[in-house]
Amino acid sequence: MCRLLWAHAAAPFDPVVHLAALAEISRTSPEYQGHGWGCAWLEQGQWRVYRDIRPIWEDDLGGFPETTLLVGHARSAFRDEGIMIENNMPFFDGEKIFIFNGELQGVRIREHGRIGAEKVFNYLKRFDQGGRLAGVRRGIEVIEKRSRYVRALNLVVADSQSSILASLFNENPGYFQMHRGRVGHVDVACSQPYPDHGEWQAIPNRSVIALQGPEQC
């Protein structure tokens, strides 16, 4: 069960404070979040992706440029399996960035992917017609119906113009509930509020919302 970060602003911001907050949240998490990490950011309108197999709190977080959109992910591998950099998120398909936190049991969908999170990402693409927000909402509904049990399903899917967040959990809201806040001029969604930074609100369970873009609500 991983830790997620999304940060966006109209004007460029320094990502260090946000990555440092994610590192501290991950380091102090009750679940081990040290199976590698990654982030993606917009640079001159193009996505750049960084991934490392080290825990985020052991990496140098000072070398990333200013950006207007940042997505970060610290990994806790299911059953401590598949610990390799290819399985680290964010996943990127050339257009969209994807991060995931959760656990699905008895999933009855057929999709390609090395790990469950990548299968969810690829499966959601089937529902893109008619708008990204409606597509993610419909895809989540189908995945839930085709799963024996959803312990939690939190994700962010973003392109250069829009970002969608889904949050669904059936246990342990203290760990799985997503939060939204504002840190300076930056809008943030994160697995936990930053320690001693910003004003925060819990995102209601069973939410599918547009964080940014034409479908924002």
Q: What is the CATH number of the domain that holds 18?
A: 3.60.20.10
What local confidence, expressed as pLDDT, does residue 67 receive?
98
Q: How many CB atoms lie within 10 A of CB 11?
A: 8
Residues of the chain with pLDDT under 70: 78-82, 215-217
- This prediction has a pTM of 0.95
Q: Helix, strand or coil for residue 24?
A: helix
Q: What is the number of domains present in the chain?
A: 1
pLDDT in the model for residue 196: 79
In this prediction, residue 82 carries a pLDDT of 63
Report the DSSP beta bridge partners of residue 70.
Answer: 7, 41
Residue 93 lies in a domain: yes
Task: State how far the alpha carbon of 177 is from the alpha carbons of 28, 137, 202, 213, in Å.
Answer: 17, 18, 7, 23
pLDDT value, residue 197: 75
Residue 217 lies in a domain: no
Contacts of residue 63, Cβ cutoff 8 Å, sequence gap at least 6: none
Domain extent, residue 120, equals 3-212
Looking at residue 215, its pLDDT comes to 66
pLDDT at 217 (0 to 100):
42
pLDDT at 129: 81
The backbone torsions φ and ψ at residue 134, rounded to the nearest 5 degrees and listed phi first, read -65, -35
d(CA 21, CA 194): 6
In this structure, are residues 189 and 178 in contact, taking their beta carbons and an 8 Å threshold?
yes
DSSP bridge partners of 50: 39
What tokens appear for 58 in the block? 């052991």
Residue 191 lies in a domain: yes
Is 35 domain-assigned?
yes
The pLDDT score that the predictor gives to residue 77 is: 79
In a domain, 88, yes or no: yes
- State residue 32's pLDDT score: 94
Is residue 37 a part of any domain in this protein? yes
